[in-house]
Structure 1
Amino acid sequence: MDFNTLLQRAENLTKKVEAECELPRVERTLQQVLQATTELHSRVTQTGGSGKDIQAHILLGSKGVDLPKLNQKLEALSTRKTFEPLDIIKADTDVCTFLKSERENAILSVIEDTNKNISDTVSKQKWSHLNSSWNEEKTRLLDALIAPSQNFIDLQRLPEHTSLHAFCQPRSSLDNLELSYAQELRQYNELLLKGNQRPNLVQKFAQLSSSFVDSRLTDMWTLLACVTQIDEPQCSDPIKTRQERPEFILHAKSYLERRYKTYIASLVGESYGKHSYQLVLAYVSHRFSAQQTIGLVDTVGGRPLWPLVYYGLRCGAADAAVNFLREAGPSHEEFAQLISDRNAGEINNRIESQLRLQYANKIRNSTDAYKKAVYCILLGCDVNEVHGEVAKTIDDFLWIKLAMLKPEDSTGYGKLQSLILEKYGEKYFNAAQQWHLYFSTLALTGQFEAAIEFLARRDNTCVHAVHMAIALHELGLLGGARSVSQPLLSIDIADPTPLRRFNLARLIRQYTQRFERSDTIEALHYYFTLRCLRDSKGRNMFVTCICDLLVESGVLDTSIFDMIFGRRQTEDEDDFRGGIFRQFDCPEFNTCTVAVLVAEELASRGNFEMAVRLYELGGKYTLAIKHMSILLAQVVQLPAFDGSQRVRLGQEAHRFSKLLASGKIEVDAKMKASFLLLLDLLVFFNLYDEEKYTAALEQLQRTQLLPNTTDEVSVCMANVKRLNGEVIKILPDVMVAAMEITESQYKQLVATSHDQSQMQQLRQRAKAISNMAASMPYRLPYDTNRRLVQLELIMH
């Protein structure tokens, strides 16, 4: 064959390939192929490919795996639709597939609803716990408020090392002063509880203050007793009543007059004290020399007239002032008549009008400061005048302001209060050093709440502030806060300006917190003063304080429960005797009601064991049995150790069973059945732990929970469906224990008698237990199923 023939055949083959294949022809030399491979390698390396990636491509490619396509498929996979409802399949196409889809959708919907409910429950509990924590923190911060300016006290305490003697006795946390106050309050409460006539607690504390070393405290209590002289405790709002009733102004003015009379008597001699006329005359003679009478316009008997009149009024001796004016001549008769009418409680408008006109025309510019002061005091002229030449002390200033007020002038009274509290304030009075003076000024102007709050901020006067607040509260004179959660001192927009409201509950709880554990009886008497207040839930504050004291005392500290509620007399009885709370029993609350409230709070916090005791004390036997069953369900299957909770609960459960058997207590029938069943299971596990297998099986057979043969499975399953949750929770442990007893008896037969009939009975029992476990309406724990199968297989 020549060369031309070969060339012709090659062209024919080429045409045939072109005709049969649509791929483009590639004509490359070996050098071009090498260059293209190099470029492809460089591009792969530059785009982030590593040597391992290239080797993986080569390795998988040699096996026929397209790695880029595999990566795309993996990226396309999604787990979002794993628990999504399946596509609905039309019923007319495939019934079996449709039913299967519906069943799977139903299961998935149950799973989804369960997950949602769990998530909602967890979220709700989380926010509830967070809210409770924030409320506690808010309470702590409010307790730390030291003034309306919202300043705070740093409550951080450094750790302290304390060494106690091994045989030391518990001591009171109260000092002698605090104990004397507490004893006086205790006597007062005892009189109230016995139904005796209510004494004036302010006066009782004022009498007690005479034994104090500090005379300033005695003066403060005396002042408070003088300005709060009322016959019966008030029932109306103290804030509004105080502004409308003139008694507070009159009592404060009278106190200042008696105090000043005592003062000038100490200067000129006590012999003048009984005769106001001679006392004032001697004082003015002592007070004013010839040079000091310059500017004084009128005289009587060689002495300045208007100082005599002023100091007569200042000492509360209006009759002496009238005598001085009438001795001065008939030109002063109208003024003498005005004072006489005022002293008799009468008003002469004609004389007042004439004297006001006289003041405006002549007296206003007079050089006699005492004459101007007397006119202003009696006629109410120039209410903003300070009268600095006459009023040398704050007592003089207050007396002049109070004397200028008319009984019905609540607006003027409010302005005087604002002047003292808001315009002048603590800085003007140098309250840090002269605290008694600032307190007296506030109390004399009827601002008891602000005065007590000021004392409560000082460590050395806080104890007095507490008892002043209690005493005023018992008289119905303390303006209480609208809510017990408010700060110590708060402003109510509905009250007249500038009066405040005082949170007595916060002050007492803050005061008793230090000694409520060491001096519990005294603390309860302080809490008793809050019996008329309500917390945010509408509960009595006395009951709330006791509940908080008991709940916060700790799970293991039962001594305080015994102290307050008493101890059970015998183990077989439910009779509780003793307890200091019984002395506070009254129609509004008694030991039983408080015990139930505390039990509910303890149960909400998970302290069921103490809640059971208090429910029993409160007569709520069904709730006591219910929570006892919950506790038993947690420990029935556990081994018994001396002093363990299981042993302790077992003793309580047996005591309750005796009470139920004797008919002394009545509970719900279903709750009683569950409790007795748990008690039977407790006995079963006791026998099981002691390896008394025959007695344990007999005890278990009485419960009719587990079958002995496969024919009894249906009966036992029917019994199981009637059980409550507490019994069902321990049923898997009962099955395992029964199976282990069966397996132990089987091994014993194998090792001894080889009795085939008995061995067959044991196999039947094991099979029945396994069948029942498989027929349970809920899924048993994996370990339980595995253990049951293992034990059954051992017997075959």
Structure 2
Amino acid sequence: EKPSWNGRGLKQDGRSVKQIIILWLENNTMEMDFTDVLARSQGLNASVLGRSQIPRLERQLDQIDQESRRVLSSKSGAAGVAGESAVRLLAEYGFETDKLERSLQSVALLDRLEPYESFDETNIDAFVRHEHEMLILGAMEENRERVLRESREADTLAMDSDWELKKKELLALKRPQAIVDEPPTEKSSSINFASPFRVAPQPRSASSSARRARVDVLYSEVVKSILQSRATPSTRRFKVAHEFEKITVEEKRGFQVEECFRVLKGIAHEDSNTPSLAEGIPPSTEMAITGVLRYLCGLFLERKLRGAIAAAPLVARRGGDPSILGDVRAYLNVIFERGIPHILEGGPTANGLPLWPQVYYLMRCGFPDAAADLAEQAKEVGRKNASRMDTGFY
């Protein structure tokens, strides 16, 4: 029976080619002629070719062998080499392989990256020892900073307590005769002074701030009363108080400032006109005063000035080489963030900032030499708005 096909490899009755071949082999003997098989296969191909949409591609066996070997050699030799397909794929996505290769070759890997060190050549023990030493040094540094911080805090607390104790001792040592004690109440007591420095009674308050303010007022009144009762015009020890008292009488503030500087120069033995202002101070007391002054200057520098700079670094604009003058100018930037006060306008300046605040804070931080150098430099520049204070200070 001659088979008929429907173009999909199936007979009209629904049997497949495989089933037909098996039936044919079962019904025929193994002795066959391959020429007949070839003729039948070509007939089947011819019958299918008219109905299939797949284009026909004819290759001989030697052509198929050559093509397979070429594909095999191209795949085996493409390892590590940019093939044509890879280049074509990169080009489709907009990558230029030549430009990328030149960019990669221009990178200095030895300058930017550490040389590769194999794991066998690394010294793990040395690395562990180094890390251990760094941890020990870090712990030592943290402990040192903690000890210094606690020491400063303890010194500050001790100084505050000593100051309060001395104030109490002073109040108990000499009380003016004109002090009138009122009957104490449950909250507080009021004290009045019959002296030229008498102040009006303060309103009673139970808050700690009000009580502390009252104690400060009492302390200042006692000090003034002691100076008035014990100082005479012939006493050298209280000549400074009389000098300041005369200064406060003046109406012009500029003159008051200049005279205050003159008296301070006399205290520091820098003025031959008033050499007796610093006489009569024992050497031990003078050394103690010098030590306290240095401590207070360092405390102001670290906590107040540099603390304000660290709290507002963008406003401070601290730059340049590390120096006390740079710290002072950065602190002034923080203080004058909203503008320079009107009282300082028109005065001498240095590096865009008022001159005298810089001089003051240099002296306040304990650097009088730096303050003198700054004022001398401003004087040499010959500023047009220099006042009489420029020549009187030196």
- What is the TM-score when the length of structure 2 is the normalising length? 0.27
Larger radius of gyration: 2
Q: Which has the higher contact order (CA 8 A, sep 6+)?
A: 1
